[in-house]
Structures are given as C-alpha cells and as structure tokens.
Amino acid sequence: MTTLTVYDPAMCCSTGICGTDVDQRHVDLAADLDWLKSKGVTVQRFGLSREPQEFAANDTIRQIMQESDGDDLPAFLVDGRLVVKARYPSRAELAAWTGIASPALEITDQVRELIALGAAIGASCEPCLKYHTKKAREVGLTDEQMREAIAVGRMIKEASASNIYALAASLVPEEAQTSSCCGSSKKQEAAPAADSGCCGTAVTSASEPGKASSCC
C-alpha cells in the first residue's frame, strides 16, 4: 500500500486551517489528503512545531532542514522518496505520484444548465431558452444564478457581434463620401451656403431684390 508523508513547516495547528486569515492552499491540501485516504493511500502528516523528532529522524528531511533552514518546507515523500518540496502540489500531481487515476472533471446538472442558458442567449434560440430556464429551476438554480448566466451569454453575444461588424468594415471599407450640389457627382469646392445658394439654400438675387433664388 502506498504511503504519502507530508512534512509541514511550523503552523498554528495540524492542518494550518486556523485563525482569521486562512491560506487556501492549506484548505485544498486537507481536502486532497482526505481524498487520497478514501482511495486507500496511507497518509502521514508531521508539523515542525509539533513533531520535530520526525524531522530529525528522516535523513532526507534532515538534509533539507540543514540546507535551507526549513525554507524548503513543506516536503512530500511517497514511500520514502522525495517527490516535491517548497510548495503544495495539486491533486492531479498527488494522484500521479501515488498511482491513482486523476480525478475526472465532474459537471453537475446545475453547471450544465447554466452553460445551456448562456448558450441559448448567444444563439438567440427562444425554444432553448424556455426549455433550459425550466430545467434550471428543476435542478435547484435560483433566479439570481440564472440572471448571471444570461448576462454572461449576452455579453459574449454583443462582443461577438461588435467584433464581426468591425471585421466586416475592415474587409469592405465604406465608400468615401463626396459633397455635390443638387445630386451632381462632381466634387465641388466648399463655399459658404449663404453665398452659393446650393441645394435649395435661398440667396438674394442681385437682379431682383427681395426675391429668393436657388441653384436647384
């Protein structure tokens, strides 16, 4: 049977899960060690402040202490062989070292329905949205959780639409706009509207005072 031995640095308690500022790594490790135990692995855990004699009794750990003055803790040994030091390993690493198959990723029914809600929004699928809203309530999701999933789907959809429009504009640029007088396609020099009377702008005719005239 495989044995995993953990040598912890000095901590407030046997697991390090104590006080008001708990290190998440300690929480994760405690859960991972319990998982290993459930798989049949023998787990031993020693703390420097509680079992210093265990550190002195192991040649590998004693050498680590001499070389780093304890800075290379924690240390993990599998069947007496050092596998990692100075950091906390992941569950996948622990599983590999102890010969256990890596834990499969589990997607719960709730997670599945949240994903489906976001996808329904992204696809603008009305039947999908109605169906998965109903299913989401059946698996115990709250309206707040569903609103969050819908909001995420909406953001993704809007961002995607904005990006595709920008790409289209770069691939097929809009035709440059030119100014013309009364529908003429020829470019004309800019002139004050009050002087030119272009496109219906009324100006006073010099030949007929008081009468408005226009080029159109």
Can you give the CATH number for the domain in which 118 is found? 1.20.1290.10
Residue 190: the pLDDT is: 47
Residue 106: the pLDDT is: 67
Residue 198 located in a structural domain: no
Same domain flag for 7 and 64: yes
d(CA 111, CA 66): 49
Q: What is the pLDDT of residues 132-160, one digit of tens each?
A: 999 999 999 999 999 999 999 998 888 87
Residue 197: the pLDDT is: 52
Same domain flag for 79 and 34: yes
Residue 211 located in a structural domain: no
The tokens describing 47, both together, are: 């703390």
Residue 199: the pLDDT is: 55
Residue 6: the pLDDT is: 98
The DSSP H or E segment spanning 92 is helix 91-97
| Residue with the two structure tokens 């790409």 | 167
Same domain flag for 28 and 84: yes
Same domain flag for 118 and 90: no
Residue 70: the pLDDT is: 86
Count how many domains the chain has.
2
160 contact partners, CB below 8 Å, separation of at least 6: 122
Among candidate residues 47, 85, 51, the one with its CA nearest the CA of residue 67: 85
Which residue ranges in the chain fall short of pLDDT 50?
Answer: 184-191, 193-194, 203, 205-207
Residue 138 domain boundaries: 109-171
Same domain flag for 92 and 46: yes
Domain boundary among 77, 97, 117: 97
Tell if the pTM clears 0.75, that is, is over it. no
